[in-house]
Amino acid sequence: MHWVLIKAAAVAYSDGLYRKAHAAQDRLILLKYFTSGQDDAQLQCSRQGRALQAFGEMSHRTEVSWGAVIDAYIDQGFLTDALQLYAKMRSLGHSASNAILVGAFGACAKLQDLALGRIIHGQVEAMGLQLNVTLGTSLVDMYSKCGAIEMAMEVFSRMPVKSVASWNCMINGLAMNGGGSAAIGLFKEMQASGLGPNSATFVGVLHACSHGGLVNEALEYFSCMRELYGIETNVKHYGCMVDLYGRAGKLEKAVDVIRTMPMKPDIVIWGALLGGCKKHGNAKLGELVGAQIMKLQPHKVSGCSSLSDMYAMDGRWEDVISVRRMMLDMYVGREPGCSTLT
């Protein structure tokens, strides 16, 4: 199909269509070098290098082909490389589409690179781009994850149109930055605006309640999800409730939630309970939870670290040594990552 477009463009002397067709073909060429992440690190690095080589050999580098390779790097977790490619693209005078900018902000968010995120935001303003829903939401997300919650709020307030995802992002941002009460207040503003919440909204609200110690409020919101909005609870909502009770020291209630939830607890839920055990010094329960984590993810180092800390608080030094040895074994044989740009 893509080759047909190229030939048709050549016949019609349509330069615009010709470039679009080449861009589509370039995208296919680039994406074939990237896999779903199932291969070992060495093979991934090899394919990454070949993709970059193929990109360098393209005769018609367009905004789409730049975007394709940047997106592919981000999808594979090569965030720094992706941002370096973005910087090179801009230095060569190419403009950045909304899709590329959203990807760049996403990479900055994951790397928590506030300085670079602000630079790219400045470029957005210099280009005179409007803060549409997608771009504005990605900016709110980036600033929130970088801890610049005031900047996130400023961007959010300037957005002319806000989607449910925009509200969700800002609610989550406030929750993760210690603004539990402010997040609940924003949720009420969202309700007043006439925009209905969705499942993800309540994850943010319950997360805010958890971090703010708002146990009673969380119970009310958890109940009203289905009763008022017809939203089914899922594992993320139950995870928030486990985290809520764990932080509040109500470990028995957290265990009750896990026992009565209609689905199997995942690693996040067990991790939330383990965090509560560590915070409140319950090594006995923590040991049981740690065993569940090891069953689900035998190479999960963070669970072992929390378990080791609890053993130390309990004075069980032989167990501390045993867990530390286990953690050391987990690091043996790991393949380091690589970069094709350095």
**What pLDDT, on the 0 to 100 scale, is given for residue 326?**
58
- Give the residue carrying structure tokens 């449910």: 164
**What pLDDT, on the 0 to 100 scale, is given for residue 287?**
82
- What's the topology of domain 236-331? 1.25.40
**What pLDDT, on the 0 to 100 scale, is given for residue 95?**
84
Convert the pLDDT of each residue in 279-301 to its tens digit.
998 988 988 888 888 788 766 55
CA 43/CA 178 separation, integer angstroms: 42
- Model confidence at 13: pLDDT above 60: no
**What pLDDT, on the 0 to 100 scale, is given for residue 306?**
62
CA 137/CA 163 separation, integer angstroms: 9
- The residues, any chain, with a CB within 8 Å of residue 207's CB and separated by 6 or more, are 172, 175, 176, 183, 240, 243
Average pLDDT of the chain is 79
Extents of the domains making up the chain: 164-221, 236-331
Convert the pLDDT of each residue in 34-83 to its tens digit.
443 444 444 445 455 555 555 655 556 677 778 878 888 888 888 999 99
Q: Once rounded to an integer, what is the mean pLDDT over residues 252-268?
A: 95
Q: Once rounded to an integer, what is the mean pLDDT over residues 200-221?
A: 95
**Band of residue 170 on the pLDDT scale cut at 50, 70, 90:** very high
What DSSP string describes 189-218? HHHHTTPPP-HHHHHHHHHHHHHHT-HHHH
CA 209/CA 202 separation, integer angstroms: 10
